[in-house]
Structure 1
Amino acid sequence: MHSYHHWHPLALPDTTLLRAGWFLIQGTLHARYPRGETRLRWQCGQETWHEQILPVTRRGTLLELVWLPVGATEVGLLASSEGTEYQLSIVRFAQVSAGNSLMRRLRRVWHFYQRLDAQKRKRLGLSWHLWFTDLQQAYQLVGKIRDDRPLHAYEHWLANFDTVQPGERRLIDRLLARWGNLPHVCLHLVKGGDEASRQRTLTSIAALCYPTTHITVLEQPPAAHRPVGEWQWAIPVGAELAPAALVWLSHQLRQTPNAQWIYGDHDLLDGKGKRHSPDFKPDWNETLLQSQNYIGWCGLWREQGDKSIPQDGAESYRGWFQLARQLAPQEIAHIPALLMHVPDTLPMQDSYESLAAMLQDLPVGVTLESAPHGICRWRWPLPAELPRVSVIIPTRNGLAHLRPRIGSLVQHTCYPNVEIMVMDNQSDDPETLAYFAHISKEYGVQVISWDHPFNYSAINNAGVREATGEFICLLNDDTEVINPLWLDEMVSHLLRPGVGIVGARLYYGDGRVQHAGDAVGPGGCADHFHSGLAADEPGYQRRAVSAQELSAVTAACLLTPRELYLSLNGLDEVNLPVAFNDVDYCLRVGEAGWRIVWTPFAELYHHESVSRGKDVTPEQLARSRGELRYMKKRWARRLKHDPAYNPNLSYDRPDFSLSHTPNVVLPWTS
């Protein structure tokens, strides 16, 4: 999508500024599509233009102090967005006194200083004495956090958060000396490559912040040599290691000493050696690994007699599957840091074709298929005797929505062993009541009256108590079946060992993605991944088209065992009668040791909230705030880290953009 620039002139007290001073700009800025930078622009002299980036909050609030010099003319705002739908309203542009400016800047810096922990202050460069030595620099630093603009300038992010400064190297040396008992690592150079590529790799190894006595480099074919060292790492020639890569390994082993396999994040190198396309990965995710080789080359493992050194991407992928079968999830750890930089010309083979040729011992009944964007689809088997699924659909006078939904469910769902239950919440429309009688007689749909004020959790809980199915499918009355095999797909995943919930890929009526799983934490509490994405787009690192394990999925279409649901007391009808009850249930299921799987191959439309509408009354808003408070208190710790996301990515919204304040603690500065 093209970027559009919008120019908004601002009126100075005089045509040309005769006296330098502080100006306050106040207004609102809204863009339907993601916005770019908002800059103040002015001219001094005939041809010299000056610019300053202005932070705009998530709500679109612009409230910023700027210093304009004598002679400034042609002052205005230059704003950009990725679409033409754009609205900017300036309510104030006025000069303020030096004292007023000082107090405003101090208040803002103090607000953010209190909000940030010591680690984030340090990474931002916001030391306490900066207030006194350079208040304006401190003000500009907190402006980076205040600005909600998605951070796409990777080189700026790297400069701020991924550069080991000379002073930090001294801290690392002292830290390693204090730790002692450091792991020995054997680095295996594989895949050949030209001499220049080999030298780049060796140079990066020589620059590692780690004692050379604990590093072995093998360039010979490993078949003739037994691996040396406690930990093994296959490095494709041309790749470069991050200076602190092995420091992170040592740190991780202090946190998880029983780990047998540790992987990290990586990015790519172009032909000129410029880094791009960071791959910030989730914590261990077996289902995602089945869909694609999300580990890549950036993984280390303890020496094992039956684990050979991979020589190409396909062998690397097969090796990760071998480890996944051998190890418990507790023995696999993820380091949320960029440990490796891989040439973008180096293919990472993870397609259906390469995987099918490698894996000879698939689980019984599993077949592999090629899916769009190079994804491998695992088809899990269904038993001869299919488990009964009770589909529970709450509704109230929703005939316009319910009629096509029941029609699509009955006529376009291939799964045969289904019990449909409509939970009627005080419907009084004669046509709706007549339709209830019709579907009961025609399709055998059970219509159960629930004569109480609306409580989504209680309605579904009542339905589950009445259900006879082994599995429960919570389904909104504003959904519509797209793929006739949607329920076959979901049931097949729920029958996998350890899976407690399965969610679906949902679309808006215009075909854009509405739900590709839920992030828990990013966005404030819970929010959908890849919302608004075009249906044929793969999303961040192809995760919008890959089956994977997530923290939560929406109850607009959620499948779970009835016995598990009842054992956990279902949805929370006391604290969460309307919102977040599905997320809370997913988190409790995960807390009990079960996995939550989202699959892109179960597809439905979701005409979101058309039946209940939005919260608008004071009572509804108060209830909504209370539910949010409960979630933040009940799951305070969990909201700080979503294992299916990455702390280097923005927690302001789950859009996989880079974080302005990564929630990653550097071992040598903690």
Structure 2
Amino acid sequence: MHSDGHWQPLALPDSFSLRSGWLFIQGKVNARQPRGATRLRWQCRQGRWYEQTLPVTRRGTLQELIYLPMGACQLALLPSSEGADCLVEITQTRQMSPIESLWRRLRRVWPFYGRLNAQKRKRLGLSWHLWFTNLPLAYELVGKLRDDRPLHAYEHWLASFDTLQPGDRQMIMHLLTRWDNLPHVCLHLVGEGDTTARQRTLASIETLCYPASHVTLLKPGADKPESEHTAEIWHWAIPLGAEIAPAALFWVAHQLRLTPDTKWIYGDHDLLDDSGKRHSPHFKPDWNETLLHGQNYIGWCALWREQGEPLVPADRVSCHHQWLRLSRQLDAVQIAHIPVLMMHLPNQDQDQDDHCLIANANQVVPSGVTLSPAPHGICRWHWPLPAQLPRVSVVIPTRNGLAHLKPCIDSLVRQTRYPNLEILVMDNQSDEADTLAYLAHAAQEYGVRVIPYDHPFNYSAINNAAVGQASGELICLLNNDTEVMSPSWLEEMVSHLLRPGVGVVGAKLYFGDGRVQHGGDAVGPGGCADHFHAGLTADDPGYQRRAVCAQELSAVTAACLLTHRKLFLSLGGLDDLNLPVAFNDVDYCLRAGEAGWRIVWTPFAELYHHESVSRGKDVTPQQLARAQKELHYMKKRWAKRLKHDPAYNPNLSYDRPDFSLSHAPNVVLPWMK
């Protein structure tokens, strides 16, 4: 049955009218859009209504036990509390014996004790003995982890994962007394604020879990601090009205024990409304220079170590300039991100317009770079191109599929402004007359090189063969079901690829209806590799404006991927042995990253992508077996890498890369080890 957000009545076994017991409910709940909570309700003899949330897995599986009292009636199911259109199929509702219900609950709870480490279990409330002393609670807690719906209730997340208990404070202070060479931190109060704002900031400083002897507070207009250890002083500009999290400086000290050569540390932050309530968390990626170019994603939540008198930013523009200045002075290994909410900023200090960076930016912008405003307050950087443009070889594998191949090649030839272009079509056994006729036409009219590939389909091998015959310094892998949208798409990608240290560049791809198909790839969130921002409308800025800002990512799709030919060959190309069809682009990007190269995604290179139209989906047993084999290889080859994507945040869901809050954040608390 289809549901549009209304309660659906369910038949209750007759036995429940006479006695209480365990109800087992089984079925499928498939939502066509983000799903809210799936709930079950019933009425008791006293006329009171009861509700219980039912966990539904990512595959839509519903298998839940609910204890119903005697006389329960009017059973009903709400597939989605947010009114999402769902296809619901309830296959079974039956009463279950106490012994069977006990076994089913234990069988669900026990695996989580092996899957989660001790600290994560503790943070979730799953003490080692809970399955024995309070099985109903353990079953409920595990159910929350099992539930695939996005977690949006920030206040609940804070209560579970960002609240310091008295015991936490004691353990933090105990650790600090044992650590030598604690960093000295100078807090610079900046900006304007009324008495209430000032008191809010000062009160948060007084509650810091950190020795007061290692903190210097400088108010506006105060003299600069003098110290014998000036080089060891860490500076933090705090706008009036902001609050510092109690454990923030503990995290700084801990980070410096891990990476003592660090000179710049930034953390996550959230916002405060007028009543002081926290909202809108900014969970940031690890160091991402390209993202910082387009927007001040770091904000005010950063400390830096500087020799001599520091340059202390006084407003958001000078703050952005300060971080850009540091990014040019420091190596990436000297910059650390702490994935912890270290600061709470008042709403008015979270200006989302970074266009103001354009003024007076000469000191922080590399030579030849020009800036221009882009939508949603993004500052777009235009990287210079050399006078002699490098040749780009565009590789397009195809097998028939004229309906998409023709718009692909026609748009590539007619709309691409980049002049030094070579087009290679790898013909993988096309046998349709109209396709063969068009390929002959494209070769004659456009100078397209059509290269026969008379072997079974192997996407990696096809592209490797093409690169072996390409004449360009740069290689653009392009699907045959793409269409060029903007004439400057290739200039944009080439300009990024020619930046120092950049090895791969990806584009922003759209479905035919204008929704986003690819905003870069997450590696780990979603199970293995999955697209960021899939399904967004074209003008949606996405999480923290990351759908509209150039940035560094772990991987991009080979539906439109630009790389250096020398790098491609040195890495052995795409893995045609282990990854003949899927994940070969992700694997290539990860190997490039492993070799020290950066992968950049830009939203200013735009194409349509109709996604695997010519090859189709995996449906046969052989195709499904091959897909499973490729997935298994990726999970084994990149096991460690899949646990943490530097472009994502461990406080966000790893069930899917949608930037929703995690039900089980993967952040280790040092005082709980």
TM-score between the two structures when normalised by the length of structure 2: 0.97
CA–CA separation in structure 2 for the residues paired with 1:88 and 1:418? 51
Q: What is the 5 A alignment of 1:94-173?
A: 94-173=94-173
User: Which ranges in structure 2 are unaligned for 5 or more consecutive residues?
Assistant: none
2:532 corresponds to 1:529: yes
Aligned match for 2:269, one of 266, 269, 278: 266
Give the secondary structure class of the aligned counterpart of 1:340: strand
1:555 partnered with 2:558 = yes
Matches within 5 A, 1:389-408: 389-408=392-411
For the residues of structure 2 that align with 1:81 and 1:388, how far apart are their CA atoms? 54
- Cα 1:512–1:102 shift into 2, 3 Å: same
Secondary structure of the corresponding residue to residue 539 of structure 2 = coil
Partner of residue 545, structure 2: 542
Which one of the candidate residues 418, 423, 428 is aligned to 1:415?
A: 418
Q: Of the candidates 293, 298, 306, which is equivalent to residue 296 of structure 2? A: 293
Preserved CA contact (<8 Å) 2:352 2:377: no
Contact 1:352 1:368 in 2 (8 A): no
Change (3 A) 1:370 1:458: same
How many Å apart are 1:76 and its aligned residue?
A: 1.4
**Alpha-carbon distance between aligned partners in 2 of 1:323 and 1:618, rounded to the nearest angstrom:** 54
Offset, 1:390: 0.3
User: Contact 1:241 / 1:339 at 8 angstroms: preserved in 2?
Assistant: yes
Q: Which consecutive unaligned segments of at least 5 residues does structure 1 have? A: none
Which residue matches 1:312? 315
Q: Does 1:71 align with 2:71?
A: yes
**Contact kept? 1:519, 1:529, Cα under 8 Å:** yes
State the partner residue of 1:60: 60
Q: Is the 8 A contact 1:173 1:209 kept in 2?
A: yes
Distance 1:139 1:645 in 2: 30
Q: Shift of residue 222 of structure 1?
A: 5.4
- 1:504–1:604 Cα contact (<8 Å) kept: yes
The residue type equivalent to 1:297 in the other structure is W
* Whole-angstrom CA distance in 2 between matches of 1:589 and 1:450: 27
Q: Secondary structure at the match of 1:35?
A: coil
* Counterpart in the other structure of 1:461: 464
The AA in structure 2 aligned to 1:189 is L
Contact 2:369 2:381 in 1 (8 A): yes
Task: Give the alignment partner of residue 481 of structure 2, picking from 478, 481, 485.
Answer: 478
Partner of 1:362: 365
Q: Counterpart amino acid of 1:458?
A: A
Kept in 1: contact 2:172–2:671 (CA 8 A): yes
Pairwise mapping of residues 587-626 of structure 1 onto structure 2 (< 5 A)?
Answer: 587-626=590-629
**Equivalent residue number for residue 218 of structure 1:** 218
Structure 1 residues 227-236 or 273-282, which shifts more? 227-236
Deviation at 1:300, TM superposition (A): 0.4
CA shift in 2, pair 1:222/1:544, >3 Å: farther
Q: Matches of 1:158 and 1:334 in 2, distance apart?
A: 20
User: Whole-Å Cα distance in 2 between the matches of residues 441 and 132 of structure 1?
Assistant: 76
Residue number in structure 2 paired with 1:495: 498
Cα distance in 1 between the residues matched to 2:278 and 2:294: 26
**Partner in structure 2 of residue 237 of structure 1:** 240
SS in 1 for 2:349: coil
Q: Is the 8 A contact 1:314 1:348 kept in 2?
A: no
Q: Does 1:250 align with 2:282?
A: no
Residue by residue over 1:418-465, the C-alpha shift from the partner in whole angstroms, topping out at 9 and shown as x without a partner, is 000000011122221121111111110000011100000000000000
- The SS at the match of 1:357 is coil
How has the CA–CA distance of structure 1 residues 558 and 132 changed in structure 2, closer, same or farther, with 3 Å as cutoff? same
For 2:330 and 2:17, the matched residues in 1 are separated by: 69
Residues 316 and 592 of structure 1: CA distance in aligned 2, closer, same or farther (over 3 Å): same
Matched residue type, 1:137: L
Q: Please name the residue that 2:174 is paired with.
A: 174
Deviation at 1:212, TM superposition (A): 1.2
Q: Quick one: distance in 1 between partners of 2:296 and 2:633?
A: 38
Distance (Å, rounded) in 2 between the aligned partners of 1:359 and 1:44: 72
Taking a change above 3 Å as real, the CA distance of residues 458 and 661 of structure 1, as seen in their structure-2 partners, is: same
Q: Which runs of 4+ in 1 moved over 4 A?
A: 81-84, 222-229
Asked if the contact 2:36/2:83 (under 8 Å) is kept, the reply is no
State the one-letter code of the partner of 1:379. Answer: H
Q: Is the contact between residue 191 and residue 236 of structure 1 (CA under 8 Å) also seen in structure 2?
A: yes
Shift of 1:355: 3.6
**Distance in 2 of aligned mates of 1:586 and 1:71:** 60
Q: 2:630 aligns with which of 622, 627, 631?
A: 627
Q: Deviations over 1:366-416 (max 9, x none)?
A: 100000000000001111111100000000112121111111000010001
* Aligned AA (1:516): G
Q: Compared with structure 1, are the counterparts of its residues 145 and 84 closer, same or farther at alpha carbon in structure 2 (3 Å cutoff)?
A: closer
For residue 314 of structure 1, give the secondary structure of its aligned residue in structure 2: helix
User: Paired residues, what number?
Assistant: 668
Q: Distance in 1 between matches of 2:246 and 2:149?
A: 30
Could you tell me which amino acid in structure 1 is paired with residue 337 of structure 2? H
Name the CA distance, whole Å, in 2 between partners of 1:192 and 1:381: 39
1:317–1:350 CA contact under 8 A, matched in 2: no
C-alpha distance in 2 between matches for 1:83 and 1:137: 28
Q: Distance in 1 between matches of 2:444 and 2:94?
A: 71
Q: CA RMSD in A?
A: 1.6
Write the distance in 2 (CA, Å) between the matches of 1:135 and 1:157: 23
Find the aligned partners of 2:395 and 2:623 in 1 and give their Cα distance: 24
Q: Which amino acid aligns with 1:317?
A: H
Change (3 A) 1:349 1:397: closer
- Tell me the distance in 1 between the aligned counterparts of 2:478 and 2:225: 58
* TM-score normalized with structure 1 length: 0.97
Alignment partners' CA distance in 1, 2:551 and 2:226: 36
Q: Deviations over 1:143-166 (max 9, x none)?
A: 110000100001111111111111
- The 2-side partners of 1:307 and 1:350 are apart by 26
Secondary structure in 2 aligned to 1:439?
A: helix
- Residue 285 of structure 2 is matched in structure 1 by 282
Structure-1 residue corresponding to 2:192: 192
Rate the CA distance shift 1:84–1:234 in 2: closer, same or farther, 3 A: closer
CA deviation after TM superposition for structure 1 residue 16, in Å = 7.0
Secondary structure, in 3 states, of the residue corresponding to 1:94?
strand
Alpha-carbon separation, structure 1, partners of 2:475 and 2:248: 46
Helix, strand or coil at the partner of 2:471:
coil
1: CA distance between counterparts of 2:361 and 2:269?
24
1:649 aligns with 2:655: no
- The answer as to whether partners of 2:8 and 2:78 remain within 8 angstroms in 1 is yes
Distance in structure 1 (CA, Å) of the matches to 2:76 and 2:234: 58
Task: Report the 3-state secondary structure (helix = DSSP H, G, I; strand = E; otherwise coil) of the residue aligned with 1:545.
Answer: coil
- On the 8 A contact 2:4/2:86 being kept in 1, the answer is no
1-side partners of 2:500 and 2:325: how far apart? Answer: 18
Q: 1:339 to 1:298 in 2, by over 3 A?
A: same
Amino acid at match of 2:398: T
Cα 1:361–1:641 change in 2 (3 A) is: closer
Deviation at 1:361, TM superposition (A): 4.9
Whether contact under 8 Å (2:391, 2:474) holds in the other structure is: yes
- When structure 1 is superposed on structure 2, of 4-13 and 437-446 the one drifting more is 4-13
SS of 2:430's equivalent in the other structure is: coil
What's the counterpart of residue 455 of structure 2?
Answer: 452
Partner of 1:51: 51
Query: 1:101, CA displacement in angstroms?
Result: 1.0
1:119-161: per-residue Cα shift (whole Å, max 9, x none)? 2111111112111211100010101100001000011111111
Contact persistence 1:24–1:64 (CA under 8 A): yes
Structure 1 residues 95 and 325 mapped into 2: Cα distance closer, same or farther (>3 Å)?
same
Is the contact made by 2:4 and 2:85 (CA closer than 8 Å) also made in structure 1? no
